[in-house]
Amino acid sequence: MCVPESKADLTIGAGSHTCRIPIHPFPQAAGFVTTMLKILPLLLIVLMALHLIKPLGWPGMKKRGDFWKIAAGAIFAMLVVVVLSHSGL
């Protein structure tokens, strides 16, 4: 007999025949993903602020006014991840 251990689990069945299915396939990785979701936007903002203070000198990033390209690149990267994840790759 399986019994749910937390509210984050999905319970299937009724009565004495219930089974627990974790919503996240790797529960130990859920904390890492949550932490990265908080850190990455902060790093992007810091990178944009640093570029405003002193241009990074990367190709296409020579002027202070090019700081918006960092945000555009991040949005494009998110678009690619979403498209690839929904295409089954």
DSSP secondary structure letters along 61-89: --SGGGGHHHHHHHHHHHHHHHHHHHTT-
**Paired residues of 9 in beta bridges:** 22
Query: Residue range 50-76: average pLDDT?
Result: 90
Per-residue pLDDT at 1 exceeds 50: no
**Is the pLDDT higher at 23 or at 5?**
23
**Sequence spans of domains, the chain:** 9-86
What pLDDT is recorded for position 4? 47
Report whether 81 contacts 69 (CB < 8 A): no
Give 8-61 pLDDT, tens digit per residue.
Answer: 555 555 656 666 655 655 556 666 666 777 788 888 899 999 999 998 888 888
Report whether 30 contacts 24 (CB < 8 A): yes
Query: Residue range 60-77: average pLDDT?
Result: 90
